[in-house]
A and B are shown apart, each in its own frame.
Chain A
Amino acid sequence: MLAPVRESLANNRSLNWNRVAVLPEYVYFRHDIHIAKGVGCVECHGRVDRMALTFQAQPLTMAFCLDCHRNPAPHLRPRDEVTNMNWNPSLDRGALGRQLVREYGIRVGQITHCFVCHR
């Protein structure tokens, strides 16, 4: 299964990954800020660990993005759990989310205008 990876290194040729999560060209998405604010991989990419063949788990439409930008609390988790596919909050997720919005300084209300993602 990992043969293409080994071949890539041996031949010094880039692995030709097929993009599954495709955003339109006029959308400027940055992973770094989402990770820094505690948005888990799962939120957009789904349970990649359970996918036999990777597929796009979420619609990735503007409405999908805006739902979270308008009300991020339900989608947040502690930073060290961002990559955890199996994270199961022991606390009430709503309360934790509201606490994380404060803690991580998320500017709710200011991250929905056009230039945040389009320029």
Chain B
Amino acid sequence: MSRSSRAPQFDFDRIRAATSRKQFWSSIDELLDEQGLREWIEAEFPAPLSVHDKPRRRQFLKLIGASLLLGGLTRCGDRPANHALPYVIQPEEEVPGVPRYYATAVAFEGYAQPVVATTYSGRPIKLDGNPDHPVTRGTSDVFMQSAVLDLYDPERSKIPLRNGAPASWAQFETALSGLRESWRNRKGEGLRILTGATTSPTLIRQFRAMQEAYPNMRWSRCEAIGHAQQDEAMSAAFGRVLTPHYRLDQCDVVVSLDHDVLGAGPRQVAHAQAWGVRHGEVQSGLGRMRVHVAESVPSLTGTVASTRIPVDPSRIEALTHAMAAEFKVSGFARPDLQPGEGNWLDRALRELRNSAGHSLLMIGPYCDPHLQALAPAINAQLGNVGKTVWYSEPAHVPDATQPLAELTREIANGAIETVVFIGCNPVYTCPGPLGLANQLARVPNRIHAGLHADETAALCQWHLPLSHALESWSDARAVDGTATIMQPVIAPLYSSRSAHQIVDMLLGSGANAANAAVRETWEQSFGEDFDRKWIRSLHDGFVDNSGATAIAVTPNSLVPTQTSSGTNLEVVFRPDPCIWDGRFSNVAWLQELPKPLTKITWDNVIEISPALANEHSVSNGDVVEVSIDGRKIRGAAWVIPGQAPRTVALYFGYGRRGGAEIAIGAGYDAFSIRPNEAAWKATGSISRQRGHRLIATTQAHHRMDGFDFVREVSAKNPRLPTQQKAPTFYPDWNVEKSSEKNSPDHAWGMVIDLDLCVGCNACVSACNVENNVLVVGKDQVSRGREMLWLRVDRYFTGDVDNPRAYFQPVPCMHCEKAPCEMGCPVHATVHSPEGVNQMVYNRCIGTRTCSSYCPYKVRRFNWYDYRHFEAAEEAAKNPDVTVRSRGVMEKCTYCTQRIQAAHVQADKENRSFRRDEVVTACQQACPTRAIVFGDLKDEDSAVSKRRRSGRHYVLLEELGTRPRTTYLARWNDSPDEEK
């Protein structure tokens, strides 16, 4: 069976029959076509003879080959394998082959994501959260992990372009001097500058200076996702923009109305971290944390919630009004609720009140501002303010208006003479009805600075290459307000400048040193003791005590609005969980990362509920058209179990037209039918069209055969039953005995707590970066050939309209009795005395027997040489890990390079390992600490402690493979389990 064939016809009766029969299921397709899925699983490597399509990265490079030559970036023919080129003057403390670590940050929507960058000979190859920083505490998210590839992206813009043709900075400076003259004369009238959201003290200071020089210029911040609606809500609640900070670690009860607090975004790491702290093992005196979620689109938060109901956005509104009415917020009355909604609300209310002071009500940032504005009043009544939520002055500079709407209006009025876009791509992210792309030509002078020559650059006379955050001096504040002075960890790869340098050029303050602007800011704030504080801040990766402080505020009374009726189809917009608003479109790792809930790669889909699929007889992949106010987009439909019945979800970031070569042609452009900049929902219609699209989803790939993959405990049954030993003719397997002659000091093992996993993919991303996992492209993914060493399986149980969902990360199990080792005819996979199942690439002859013997399906085969990367990408590779070539198997090694490095370190110091000294990449990245790795021979190691838990279980234990990777069962906190 080929997965590219049309999906089976949607059939509700078959689905319902199947869900009542099966305990766990992975997808709608599986429910509809069990036979087909079985054939796919049994095929092991489906369609092995099909041809190979290379990803299209190269086409673009052919086109700009000439400019590459000019840039002096041609690659040598042969690698200088037989030559050694030492430094002439070796930098201080630099030892070739030994990594050095620098604290800095990358920015995401203007917020600093504090990192420690691992560099080899001046090349950053990996970013991890800064362990000392109060926000990340060493953990990370997918965007932070993949930022290295963003830096080495071979399609980044490399030299300035004038009308699309190569130019120089000197030529730009000449052009600019004329413009500056006219800005000065007209006091900046007609000058408009747009940047992304920013928290950078330096950028804010520079724009203040610019405002003084050109008083009538306007600077606005446009962010396609951002939190403009939340700012508006805060203004309504408090009379000015404030930032709410949630302390999930202090919450006993969280009620979320369409707020995916654990989902992707600048605050994901902070939130997931705090949630993990409170949600972890039952702490003394504290009961289980409860999370109640009402949401229109399934989210990570909904997946890990105690109770969850799918409700359309209009019903979220009704629930919020009912909630306000219960809390006697003046002017609000409880609307009619359906029984399910009423029950959910009553339970949520009861628990919020019972845990007053330790509870939290959150209303989603994509909900209407007048709804969000109710949360502060209710939390204040509950006495939660200062405990589970606190408010501070914003770190970002809020915009009072919708900047792009205002810009297009002004262009239409002929009021704009020069527009400068720095680090933003509004021609792509602008809502279709505003028609910025058509209007822009009327502005006489158009300048764009960005990492890529994108859609906006194509419509500007000047395009300037912007330096990546890892190449430039800057500063930014993390979500808690703590400032980081960002230092470059590599010299700019191309002829690029930082945003600060470009703003300095606009100001005409001359060519300064790269860090001049940043230094100036901090000289003012550090005062006398500058040198010490500057060096200390650079070293630590953040400025001490620069976090936001809580302010005491009382919410205003609110003017209630009418609830809208929900008879029509409701369309909601969401950022893509992997490429956000398209800013990461060209990061191949993020494109190939399966989206947490759908496991789709390289595409966006139109997500619909099972009920809607039934109504329109639409199956996964069928082309549908969504229409809002006469604007239409077409895309592949995808049926999402648990989506609200009348809700259609559209995802931003695809349908690119430029600046992202690998993404062009993929998916649809949801921005084109977004009604206005702040719109997160609209009413619209959907219709089935002819045709079917191939969507590369990994949800059916690498499926295990068996049962009880995920297990659960509940308050009633807090321990898993102990496994009965199956009768066997074989003598008992004893790990100590088996390796007696070598008597290893360590036995490596891993325990993954399913109760802490939120499915965020940080582990998968970290593994990709650490282990040089190669990208194979959409075509190969659709054939089941993705190379990810660590996959996160997603299962459902129960009713397709509101199933309970589970995430299960599956790396190599490192079985003590590994079936793969039995299968290999050439001993290419063998055991180490410390219990690691080793893969020896140079012995492997590619029979793939090991993979067919592996019951956990964790082995990956290089069907082709996937190494066709460019010179710049080569620099991103981890030098401690082999880059695998065609024809060999590969799989998780427990980050053996880290184990070996720790061994060498300990051996050099002639000591034994410190407790939990070795940390795998996935473990390091995980914001909730779901993954723990360590030495099973050490009774007190974190991994040994977890193994003694009553929730501990072994995947496919009945096979007797004795895996070293094991799991802790998930808690089921749903009230049904407690009766």
Bound complex: CA A75 to CA B818 (Å): 36
Contact with B along A33-46 (1 / 0, CB 8 A): 10011000000000
**Which one of B87, B741, B910 lies within 8 Å of A109 (CB-CB)?**
B741
Contacting pair B904 A33 (CB below 8 A): yes
Q: Is the CB of A33 within 8 A of B907?
A: yes
Which B residues lie within 8 Å of A104 (CB)?
Answer: 910
A114 pairs with B838, CB closer than 8 A: yes
As a 0/1 sequence over residues 718 to 754 of chain B, the CB contacts with chain A under 8 angstroms (1 = contact) are 0000000000000000000000011111000000000
Chain B nearest CB, measured from A9 CB (Å): 6
Whose C-beta in chain A lies nearest to the C-beta of B908?
Answer: A36
B439 within 8 A of A: no
Residues of A within 8 A of B832 (CB): 113-115
Q: Which residues of B contact A24 (CB under 8 A)?
A: 842
Scan residues 784-830 of chain B and give those whose CB is less than 8 A from a CB of chain A: 830
Contact B83 A118 (CB under 8 A): no
Q: Quick check: B86 and A17 within 8 Å, CB to CB? A: yes
Chain B residue with Cβ nearest A33 = B904
Asked if B833 is an interface residue, CB under 8 A from chain A, the answer is yes
Fill in one digit per residue for A1-22: 1 if any B CB lies within 8 Å of its CB, else 0: 0000000110011111111001
Compute how far the CA of A17 lies from the CA of B832 in the bound complex, rounded to whole angstroms. 37
B85 touches A15 (CB 8 A): yes
Q: How far is the CB of A31 from chain B (nearest CB, A)?
A: 9
Does B82 sit within 8 A of A, measured CB to CB? Answer: yes
List A contacts of B836 (CB < 8 A).
115
Say whether A110 faces chain B, with CB atoms less than 8 Å apart.
Answer: yes
Contact B893 A9 (CB under 8 A): no
Interface bits B835-854 vs A (CB < 8 Å: 1, else 0): 01010111000000000000
Known: A22-B82, A113-B838, A119-B880. A8 touches B88 (CB 8 A): yes
Interface residue B896 (Cβ < 8 Å from any Cβ of A): yes
* Chain A residue nearest in CB terms to B897: A119
The reply to whether A32 and B904 form a contact with Cβ atoms under 8 Å apart is: yes
Number of interface residues of A (CB under 8 A): 32
Known contacts A13-B88, A33-B907: A110-B742 contact under CB 8 Å: yes
**Contact, CB under 8 Å: A15 / B904:** no
Residue numbers in A under 8 Å from B745 (CB-CB): 107, 110
Distance from A2 Cβ to chain B, minimum over Cβ atoms (Å):
15
A17 and B85 CA atoms in complex are apart in Å by 6
Q: B89 contacts which chain A residues (CB < 8 A)?
A: 9, 12
Q: Which of A77-119 contact B (CB under 8 A)?
A: 104-107, 109-110, 113-116, 118-119
Which A residues are in CB contact (< 8 Å) with B552? Answer: none
Contact B88 A26, beta carbon cutoff 8 Å: no
**Smallest distance from the beta carbon of B85 to chain A beta carbons, Å?**
4
Q: Do residues A18 and B882 form an inter-chain contact, with CB atoms below 8 A?
A: no
Give complex CA distance A12, B881 in Å: 31
A64 close to B (CB within 8 Å): no
Is there a chain B Cβ closer than 8 Å to A28's Cβ? yes
Contact, CB under 8 Å: A113 / B88: no
Question: How distant is the Cα of A96 from the Cα of B841 in the complex, in angstroms?
Answer: 38
Cβ–Cβ contact B830 & A30, under 8 A = no
B910 partner residues in chain A, CB cutoff 8 A: 104-105
Chain B, 63-94, contact with A by CB distance < 8 Å: what is the 0/1 string? 00000000000000000011111111100000
Q: Whole-angstrom distance from the CB of A27 to the nearest CB of chain B?
A: 9
Expressed in whole angstroms, the minimum distance between the Cβ of B501 and any Cβ of chain A is 26
B893: contacting residue among A8, A13, A106, A119, CB under 8 A: A119
Known: A12-B88, A16-B83, A110-B742. A119 touches B907 (CB 8 A): no
Q: Are B841 and A28 in contact (CB under 8 A)?
A: no
B896-927 residues at the A interface, CB under 8 angstroms: 896-897, 899-900, 904, 907-908, 910
CB distance from B612 to the nearest CB of A (A): 49
Q: Within the assembled complex, what's the spacing in Å between the Cα atoms of A18 and B81?
A: 9
Interface residue SS majority, chain A: loop
Given contacts A110-B744, A114-B832, A118-B882, contact A36 B86 (CB under 8 A): no
The interface residues of chain A lying within 8 Å CB-to-CB of B904 are 30, 32-33
Contact of A19 among B82, B830, B840, B899 (CB under 8 A): B82
**Contact pick for B907, options A17, A18, A22, A36, CB 8 Å:** A36
Asked whether B881 lies within 8 Å of A113 as measured between CB atoms, the reply is: no
Chain A residues positioned under 8 Å from B833 (CB to CB) = 109-110, 113
Evaluate contact between A37 and B896: CB separation under 8 angstroms: no
Q: Which residue of B lies closest to A113 (CB)?
A: B832
Closest CB of chain B to A32's CB: distance in Å?
6
Q: CA separation between A89 and B377, bound complex, in Å? A: 84
Task: List, in ascending order, chain B residues with CB within 8 A of A16's CB.
Answer: 83, 85
Q: Which residue of A lies closest to B895 (CB)?
A: A119
A17 partner, pick from B83, B87, B741, B881, beta carbons under 8 A:
B83
A9-B84 in contact (CB<8A): no
Given contacts A113-B833, A114-B830, A114-B838, contact A119 B882 (CB under 8 A): yes
The answer on a CB contact under 8 Å between A115 and B900 is: yes
Query: A107 with B907: in contact, given A114-B838, A119-B882 (CB under 8 Å)?
Result: yes
Give the shortest distance, in Å, between A83 (CB) and chain B (any CB).
17
- B84: chain A residues within 8 A (beta carbon): 17-19
- Chain A residues near B897 (CB, 8 Å)? 28, 119
Nearest residue in A to B878 (C-beta to C-beta)? A119
Which residues of chain A are within 8 angstroms of B87 by Cβ–Cβ distance?
A: 14
Q: Shortest CB–CB separation between residue A60 and chain B, in angstroms?
A: 14
A36 to B838, CA, bound (A): 26
Cα A53 to Cα B618 in complex, Å, equals 76
- Residues in B neighbouring A107, C-beta threshold 8 A: 745, 907
Contacts of B743 in A (CB 8 A): 109
Cα separation A16 to B744 with both chains bound (whole Å): 43
Are the C-beta atoms of B881 and A18 separated by less than 8 Å?
Answer: no
Q: How far is the CB of A30 from chain B (nearest CB, A)?
A: 6
Among A22, A26, A119, which residue has its beta carbon within 8 angstroms of that of B896? A119
Q: Which residues in window 217-231 of B have CB below 8 A to A?
A: none
B217 to chain A, nearest CB (A): 44
Taking the closest CB of chain A, its distance from the CB of B950, in whole angstroms, is 34
Identity of the chain A residue whose Cβ is nearest the Cβ of B831 in the assembled complex:
A113
CA of A18 to CA of B834 in the docked complex: distance in angstroms? 38
B623 to chain A, nearest CB (A): 46
How far apart are the CA atoms of A22 and B83 in the complex, in Å? 10
B86 touching A14, Cβ below 8 Å? yes
CB pair A119–B86 under 8 Å, yes or no, is no
- The residue in B743, B836, B841, B908 that gathers the most chain A C-beta atoms within 10 A of its C-beta is B908
B906–chain A nearest beta-carbon distance, Å: 9
Residues of B within 8 A of A119 (CB): 880-882, 893, 896-897, 900
Q: Which residue of B lies closest to A8 (CB)?
A: B88
B95 to chain A, nearest CB (A): 9
Known: A26-B842, A28-B897, A118-B841. 9 other contacts (CB 8 A): A17-B84, A18-B82, A18-B83, A19-B81, A30-B97, A32-B908, A109-B833, A113-B833, A113-B838
**B contacts, CB < 8 Å to A:** 81-89, 97, 741-745, 830, 832-834, 836, 838, 840-842, 880-882, 893, 896-897, 899-900, 904, 907-908, 910
Can you list 8 A-B contacts with CB-CB less than 8 angstroms, sorted by A residue number? A14-B88, A15-B86, A19-B84, A32-B908, A110-B745, A113-B830, A115-B832, A115-B896
7 closest A-B pairs by CB? A14-B85, A113-B832, A17-B84, A36-B908, A115-B896, A114-B838, A33-B904
